[in-house]
Amino acid sequence: MEPVTDTFARPLHDLRISVTDRCNFRCVYCMPKEVFGHDFEFLRRSQILTFEEIERLARMFAGAGVRKLRLTGGEPLLRRDLERLVAMLAAVPGIEDIAMTTNGVLLARKAQALADAGLHRVTVSLDSLDDDVFAAVNDVGVPAARVLEGIEAAAAAGLGPVKVNMVVKRGLNDTSILEMAGHFRGTGHVLRLIEYMDVGASNGWRLDDVVPAAEMVAAIGAEWPLEPVESAYRGEVANRYRYRDGGGEIGVIASVTQPFCRDCTRARLSADGRLYTCLFANVGRDLRGPLRAGASDADLEALIGRIWGRRGDRYSELRTAETRESPRVEMSYIGG
């Protein structure tokens, strides 16, 4: 099949696969406890795609142009035997890069097996080095050291350079920016500061809570001078900067203040097999139904091509009061 493009001529290049909607954290900006409590109904096992189903869909997506896969969730390392899925995906023709985004808690135990199976890179989320601040973010009392161990294990297993994602919410962890930058400077790991986004419907997002990327770059640059780095490829979401003294790089993801929809080449597959063409979509298209009903490879590829071909999403560019009124899907379900 020919690679497909959407109504803004954007190719389908990346696929984020959510392997579970469950998580061992309750980050206040993603899965607040009041919503994701004991009685929250997560997907049942029968609803979740099997590894074989994920692999089959990945083949179809590769046929439509996808070259990069990212495993995410929820927390992807909660899915048992994830390395088996990685090995299956690594064998899909056309796939050039397989990455994973994780909160890092289970990474020290898993990094080597994942690398051996063919995982190329990991992104580890860490929002503060201060245990009180970090516990206030993850809301389950996990200390930062646990995540740092995961980062080091990943680097030792060859999954580096590790990208470290820090979502910054004003009043929650903005005081941790300089300490984080100082810690990761010179380590080869790349800190990426992310503007807090209005994903889902449960995090009570307000524009005042967003620390603009420009403000974060100015704060770090005042301590350790920075200069911009050209982006490496179309669709790179992070604006990159390097320390003038050779201390490495940082990235900022300014999804709120400088949206990048015109280069957005990503699709998202939820754990139950729905295809979302935007992080802010309120409906996904069911692929599991046709898959389990016996659709042929050609049918599935054509369906994926039709969905992408009709895509006109550019939510962040349009971020308006009226779009915000409709219910949206949660990030833990769709994958970040």
Neighbours of 34 (CB within 10 A): 9
CB of 315 to ligand SF4, least distance (A): 4
Q: Which of 10, 36, 86, 102 binds ligand SAM (CB under 6 A)?
A: 102
End-to-end CA distance of the chain: 28
Is 92 a binding residue for ligand SAM by CB under 6 A? The answer is: no
Does residue 304 contact residue 275 with C-beta atoms inside 8 Å?
yes
Cα(91)–Cα(26) distance, integer angstroms: 34
The interface with ligand SAM within residues 169-208 (CB under 6 A) comprises 194, 196-197, 199, 203
Cα(116)–Cα(320) distance, integer angstroms: 45
Cα(14)–Cα(260) distance, integer angstroms: 15
3-state helix, strand, coil in the chain (%, to 5): 35, 20, 45
Is 167 a binding residue for ligand SAM by CB under 6 A? The answer is: yes
Cα(132)–Cα(138) distance, integer angstroms: 10
* CA within 13 Å, CB half, 70: 20
Q: Which is nearer to ligand SAM, 60 or 181 (CB)?
A: 181
Q: Which amino acid is at 156?
A: A
| Residue 70, token pair as written in the block | 């990212």
Q: Which of 4, 87, 125, 300 binds ligand SAM (CB under 6 A)?
A: 125
Does residue 104 contact residue 150 with C-beta atoms inside 8 Å?
yes
**Signed CA dihedral, 31, 36, 38, 40: sign only:** negative
Closest CB to ligand SAM: residue number? 336
Q: Which of 103, 176, 270, 277 binds ligand SAM (CB under 6 A)?
A: 103
CB of 186 to ligand SF4, least distance (A): 27
Q: Which of 18, 173, 239, 332 binds ligand SF4 (CB under 6 A)?
A: 332
CB of 297 to ligand SAM, least distance (A): 29
Token pair 């139950």 in the structure block, residue: 272
Cα(203)–Cα(149) distance, integer angstroms: 29
Cα(313)–Cα(331) distance, integer angstroms: 17
Is 23 a binding residue for ligand SF4 by CB under 6 A? The answer is: yes
What, of ligand SAM, ligand SF4, none, does residue 270 touch, CB below 5 to 8 Å by kind?
none
What, of ligand SAM, ligand SF4, none, does residue 203 touch, CB below 5 to 8 Å by kind?
ligand SAM
Cross-strand pairs, 123: 101, 163
Is 134 a binding residue for ligand SAM by CB under 6 A? The answer is: no
Is 75 a binding residue for ligand SAM by CB under 6 A? The answer is: yes
Is 150 a binding residue for ligand SF4 by CB under 6 A? The answer is: no
Tell me the window of 47-55, 71-79, 206-214, 297-305 that interacts with ligand SAM (CB under 6 A).
Answer: 71-79
Binding to ligand SF4 by CB under 6 A, coded x per residue (else -) over 59-78, reads --------------xxx---
Is 210 a binding residue for ligand SAM by CB under 6 A? The answer is: no
User: Residue 80 carries which DSSP code?
Assistant: T
Is 332 a binding residue for ligand SAM by CB under 6 A? The answer is: yes
CB of 15 to ligand SF4, least distance (A): 13
Binding residues for ligand SF4, rule: CB under 6 A, are 23, 25-27, 30-31, 73-75, 103, 125, 259-261, 264, 278-280, 313-316, 332
